[in-house]
Structure 1
Amino acid sequence: MSELEKVIAEQEIKYLTLLSGKFKNIGETATEIINLQAILNLPKGTEHFLSDIHGEYEAFNHVLKNGSGAVRQKIDEVFGDELNIFEKKELATVIYYPKEKIEWLAKDLKNMDKWYKTIIYRLIEICSVVSSKYTSSKVRKAMPKDFSYIIQEIIYERKELLNKKEYIANIIDTIISIGRAKEFVMAISNLIQRLIIDRLHIVGDIYDRGPSPHLIMDTLMNYHDVDIQWGNHDILWMGAGLGSKGCIANVIRICARYGNNDILEDAYGINLLPLATFAMENYGNDPCEYFQSRDGKSTPLKAQIHKAITIIQMKIEGNIIERNPDFNMEHRNMFRKIDFDRGVITLNGKEYELRDKNFPTVDKNNPLKLTCEESEIMENLRLAFLRSEKLQRHIRFLFAKGSLYLKCNSNLLYHGCIPLTADGQLKDIYIRGEYLKGKAALDRAEKLCREAYFNRANSADSPEDKVKADFVWYMWCGKDSPLFGKDDMKTFERYFIEDKETHVENKNPYYKFCNQEETCDMILREFKLNPKISHIINGHVPVKEKKGESPIKANGKLYIIDGGFSKAYQPQTGLAGYTLIFNSYGMKLVSHAPFESAEKSIKEGKDIISSSRIVDVSQNRIRVKDTDIGKELQNQVNDLKKLLNAYRKGLIKNSEN
């Protein structure tokens, strides 16, 4: 044996000795090998992929509760014609909203005990089916503590045996007689919801447009298994959370645009009163015609706030552009291109008249300079964002559970794009002193974003940290940002120029080439995935199915799953979102109709109408051993087999049982 082989053998014995501290003898080691081998041969858990939720909490929450239609499908499979349509709707609603449904029924239903008995038996049948693909240990860990033992007894007993039938009936009668039926129904319904979705992937854009991103974040923080691929709207809020004034101004402007200032004030405790006072003083006589909110509830004050923060944003962004020449965004330094005396702007050699020429806070000789009041307002807002406990909790969660991309079970997930050149090759992007492309560019960009956030206390003072904070803003709107994926963000043009040709934002060539299999294969290889079995899962760009667009690209290599959760996009898409489902049989794409309300679901049994199509069928049922977790478990099995061998050879002492 060579010296190198001796060193390797010694290191392996050291490792196995450490492992023997957990598995102390042959019996314990063999038992664990058997357990792990059994798990490896179970069907893989069901993964759900959602993207571009944009603050639409009610619809998002309902999709989680109904498993994108999976709950209703299980009810049909288990009960067939045994239940009528009304009974199936009622059972589904109980699973989605158990507490609310019971409280609503209790107002008029005279014999609640009889109803409880019927519904509990039905819930047990559904729970038994959805738990069958998991180990009893995993199901037990998912159970609510108060009813863990009882649920185990009910779902794992052989109900066809007479003695067991009586035993289970006794348990149910006792639950009802001691007044715990409501709590039990809630517990088993929540367990069903938990088991329907094994892992949840959010492929970007939780924030902006809709009214309740904070509620979505609260839900995700309590979810059993979730990961997030950052979207451009998420990175904007993350930038605001680290104190970037450019990001803060954009966040406030978008909230004002969609009538969502209460997200800032009520949910996150950001005080907008100084900004409102400033807006009234400076824009009180301004009709702010082009700054009416899109929710149809605009008021003069809301429009004034909207315009005030937009002007501040243009100044701040101009300063970011000037101190970061490597961003190559001087053409977006809009206030430098305006002739304020004549009310015109020159873009690409062409002059355009401004449709709004009132700039009371702009010094035409130094247009990027904030007034003393503007500076004070923005500094106070920066501190408010940094000190908002709830916002910081949500941003930390986005960093803890999020990333620019994820490789999971042979799928590559990212929100925006992988920047490409005009001829479809990976584009070199200049990032803080070096040119990088593909995976290396995304890795470097993510590292800078993380460094910016975790050094946020210094971002206002340290030039180096300020530059990192500026980079997070660039990720929101920069030409080569993989999250933005367009040449320019035409915010100024949409507000101030009538000519709609100036509003056009050209997409990165990625969105042309991603329809081609060879491009998707190139990207998958770049991320060390096998193109023969792997897929790309993408969000960001709404798929306009009503105009004939398909979410399935490149012969099934890529799925774009932005189907319009955001109500602002639904007239264009004709849908209200997609869910991509990856279970042990393959992949299924589910499209959702608009959701009316949780109240209608509770009272009338209204559900989201979903239609599904199979997009990729596995030849053999996919097992845990075929997944990323399965590979980790197989490595554990291999190590345990080595330990077992070491015990048998006497290389490691076999402790007695």
Structure 2
Amino acid sequence: MKIYKQITTEMIEQDLRYLELLSHKFPTIAAASTEIINLEAILNLPKGTEHFLADLHGEYEAFQHVLRNASGAIKRKVNELFGNTLREAEKKEICTLIYYPEQKLQLVKEKETDLIDWYVITLNQLVRVCQNVSSKYTRSKVRKALPAEFSYIIQELLHESSMDPNKEAYINVIISTIIDTHRADDFIIALCNLIQRLTIDSLHILGDIFDRGPGPHIIMDTLCDYHNFDIQWGNHDILWMGAAAGNDCCIANALRLAMRYGNLAALEDGYGINLLPLATFAMEAYADDPCEFFGPKTDPQNNPYNNKTLRLMGQMHKAISIIQFKLEADIIRRRPEFHMEDRLLLHHIDFEKKKFILDGQEYEMRDCFFPTIDPADPYRLTEEEAEIVQKLHYSFTRSEKLRKHMKCLFRYGCMFNVCNSNLLFHASMPLNEDGTLKEVEILGRKYKGKELLNRTGQLIRTAYFADEDNDEKAFALDYIWYLWCGKDSPAFDKSKMATFERYFLVDKSTHKEVKGAYYTLRDREDICDMILDEFGVEGEHRHIINGHVPVKAVKGEKPIKANGKLMVIDGGFSRAYQPETGIAGYTLVYHSRGFQLVQHEPFTSTQKAIEEGQDIKSTTQIVELSSKRMMVKDTDKGRELSIQIEDLKKLLVAYRTGIIKEKAS
């Protein structure tokens, strides 16, 4: 009778149109009641585990390993299940098998003398792990995750116990028959992949998938097939989105970074970018230039290139850098509202003195060989440079693989996300020195806070998707470059990107990039609360989670700031940053008991992980533990389900009072 007291006829009539539509999906009292029971039950399951990663920067091997081991969550579960019954070496073998089932199986079959016995033991162990990780989900959700060919068998094994005397023989026969029919390998692979999938319910990527590391395209391939994820765009992602949209400045920057870090494979093999025109031009234009300051930053222990190729990359690096400065000058002069005139630097070079002169002060240049710069018109592209830009533009905008990855970035990405009382964005929230939200002018209107991030997200989509060539599209294409390196960009928020100074000026004081106010004020709890309020983030335990600026753990910097209100999880996934940070990245795990921050040591290689069971050495820090276990009803999803339950209850009343008639089955 309680349901009738809560829901009145007037409430039903207000929602009648919607309830009529809902009745097509749940045509009877029985169907609506069953769904209410199902949803109420789901609300009382533990919340799924969320996994947060940031600033992957193309380090695909480390990324895939952290994804496979769920930042140590699988290892913890194996320890919980087999802690006192298996040796450490045996538990390590199970973990490696779960992470890399295909490769590990090959090694086992080469060494194992009694393969049948190994299959029986291993299958039983994997079933136990799978039962554990699937226990927080409904049978329906688990069933949807199952591989079709083994769905029935896995369901039987997960929901029956060999401890039950009536079922022991049944379970044993299933396992022995899997082995007898030579399906054990395929079944083990299916179980291991299922364990990986069920251990993490959702994945959050806080930006910067691209640049520096060798495999951003491999990371994107992995994400495109991942079961549940979202992306908060970082400035490096936005750079590639701009390149794919046809912004030539973004294309030049993306190429420059690829040359700087020796990542030809990502461009040529990953995206089919034709680098031959640039290589031919660079060899000719810089034939007499050693390009000693433009050699790629490669790992001395793992350098795939010979000296001839390294020299060529240095020449290409310098060639595309000069082209970039010229292209950027075109946007800067076209868009005075960007206030980036201080980035017009080529005309400050005194080619006779071989000095850089700014505001009457002379600066020593470490390189002053510029065969393609006309001192009388330094920002004009030569004919050869213009032709190269045209060909590279065609290559980027026509790449099918890049187009597929951009579609994924746009479908699952945005500038920010609010999820379960956590505000996620990559870099910054532009602030004034006094801690108030900074107003940023875009096309004559001022935006700040949430409005600013929404507007920048709209412009990025306009730059890529708008069909018509109009003023908004043209501005958006220019603005997408500004978001990469502009002072008031929420994805960057520094005084300048000092690329020219770092390459050409000896005086290191000119290299300094002053961070925006956010990066110092974010240590204050009241500032974090103000930003959380701006985005409507509610909850007793609410947080901001960022990446972008590497946490220098080696110097004692902490990733947890503002009394636990803010977490910065860029700890150096990129190998290029690891000497600076002293570690190899942070990841964050948010399960039903609370938050755990995982600090990782450098990842050696996938091969060693498989052959020697070398996992990433990780240290787990408990950030926040809840006094009671967090259930689905405590999450954003739970609130959605509660609304659905209320609507279904209204439909039940509508059926029972005759306002809506049940439909024939």
TM-score range, shorter chain: over 0.9
Structure 2 residue aligned with 1:533, among 538, 541, 547?
541
Q: Deviations over 1:590-616 (max 9, x none)?
A: 111111111112111111111111111
Corresponding residue for residue 451 of structure 2 = 440
Structure 2 distance, partners of 1:507, 1:559, is 18
Structure 1 residue aligned with 2:85, among 82, 104, 112?
82
Corresponding residue for residue 42 of structure 1 = 45
Task: Give yes or no for the alignment of 1:97 onto 2:100.
Answer: yes
Structure 2 distance, partners of 1:458, 1:380, is 23
Deviation, 1:347, is 3.1
Structure 1 residue aligned with 2:391, among 380, 391, 394?
380
Amino acid at match of 2:415: L
Q: Deviations over 1:282-318 (max 9, x none)?
A: 1000111211111155622111111100000010011
Structure 2 distance, partners of 1:378, 1:271, is 12
Task: Give yes or no for the alignment of 1:500 onto 2:508.
Answer: yes
Corresponding residue for residue 343 of structure 1 = 354
Structure 2 distance, partners of 1:600, 1:6, is 67
Compared CA separation, residues 259 and 458, structure 1 to 2 (3 A): farther
Aligned residues: 650
Q: CA RMSD in A?
A: 1.5
Task: Give yes or no for the alignment of 1:128 onto 2:101.
Answer: no
Residue pairs, 1:503-652, within 5 angstroms: 503-530=511-538, 532-652=540-660
Structure 2 residue aligned with 1:116, among 115, 119, 122?
119
Structure 2 distance, partners of 1:466, 1:42, is 50
Amino acid at match of 1:422: E
Contact 2:585/2:600 (CA < 8 Å) preserved in 1?
Answer: yes
DSSP 3-state at the match of 2:545: strand
Amino acid at match of 1:561: I
Q: Deviations over 1:68-95 (max 9, x none)?
A: 0011100110111100011101100110
Contact 1:78/1:126 (CA < 8 Å) preserved in 2?
Answer: yes
Corresponding residue for residue 352 of structure 1 = 363
Structure 1 distance, partners of 2:371, 2:66, is 47
DSSP 3-state at the match of 2:579: helix
Q: Deviations over 1:38-96 (max 9, x none)?
A: 00111110000000111111111001111100111001101111000111011001100
Task: Give yes or no for the alignment of 1:323 onto 2:334.
Answer: yes
Task: Give yes or no for the alignment of 1:332 onto 2:343.
Answer: yes
Task: Give yes or no for the alignment of 1:260 onto 2:263.
Answer: yes
Structure 2 distance, partners of 1:539, 1:67, is 19
Corresponding residue for residue 158 of structure 2 = 155
Contact 1:584/1:621 (CA < 8 Å) preserved in 2?
Answer: yes
Deviation, 1:119, is 0.5
Structure 1 distance, partners of 2:274, 2:168, is 61
4+ aligned runs moved over 6 Å, structure 1: 5-8
Q: Deviations over 1:466-523 (max 9, x none)?
A: 3211100000000000111211000000000001111011111101100000000010
Structure 1 residue aligned with 2:460, among 449, 471, 477?
449
Contact 1:124/1:154 (CA < 8 Å) preserved in 2?
Answer: yes
Contact 1:318/1:335 (CA < 8 Å) preserved in 2?
Answer: no
Q: Deviations over 1:519-562 (max 9, x none)?
A: 00010011111374310000001111111100000000000000
Residue pairs, 1:188-199, within 5 angstroms: 188-199=191-202
Deviation, 1:465, is 2.6
Structure 1 residue runs of 5 or longer lacking an equivalent are: none
DSSP 3-state at the match of 1:246: helix
Structure 2 residue runs of 5 or longer lacking an equivalent are: 1-7
Amino acid at match of 2:292: E
Q: Deviations over 1:415-462 (max 9, x none)?
A: 01001112221111111211111111111111111100113x667xx5
Corresponding residue for residue 202 of structure 1 = 205
Amino acid at match of 1:526: E
Structure 2 distance, partners of 1:10, 1:556, is 47
Q: Deviations over 1:370-412 (max 9, x none)?
A: 0111111101111110100001111111111111100111100
Compared CA separation, residues 550 and 348, structure 1 to 2 (3 A): farther
Greater Cα offset, 183-192 or 337-346? 337-346
Contact 2:428/2:493 (CA < 8 Å) preserved in 1?
Answer: yes
Deviation, 1:617, is 1.3
Amino acid at match of 2:366: R
Contact 2:12/2:650 (CA < 8 Å) preserved in 1?
Answer: no
Structure 2 distance, partners of 1:511, 1:14, is 50
Amino acid at match of 2:344: N
Structure 2 distance, partners of 1:278, 1:11, is 70
Contact 2:365/2:504 (CA < 8 Å) preserved in 1?
Answer: yes
* Percent identity over paired residues: 56
Deviation, 1:246, is 0.2
Corresponding residue for residue 180 of structure 2 = 177
DSSP 3-state at the match of 2:429: coil
Structure 1 distance, partners of 2:285, 2:472, is 35
Contact 2:12/2:654 (CA < 8 Å) preserved in 1?
Answer: no
DSSP 3-state at the match of 2:575: coil
Amino acid at match of 2:65: H
DSSP 3-state at the match of 2:590: strand
DSSP 3-state at the match of 2:488: coil
Deviation, 1:175, is 0.3
DSSP 3-state at the match of 2:576: coil
> TM-score, structure 1 length as denominator?
0.97
Structure 2 distance, partners of 1:423, 1:647, is 58
Structure 2 residue aligned with 1:287, among 284, 290, 302?
290
Residue pairs, 1:51-90, within 5 angstroms: 51-90=54-93
Corresponding residue for residue 138 of structure 1 = 141
Deviation, 1:111, is 2.1
Deviation, 1:200, is 0.1
Compared CA separation, residues 7 and 453, structure 1 to 2 (3 A): farther
DSSP 3-state at the match of 1:88: helix
Amino acid at match of 1:429: V
Corresponding residue for residue 28 of structure 2 = 25
Structure 2 distance, partners of 1:537, 1:267, is 30
Structure 2 distance, partners of 1:349, 1:157, is 82
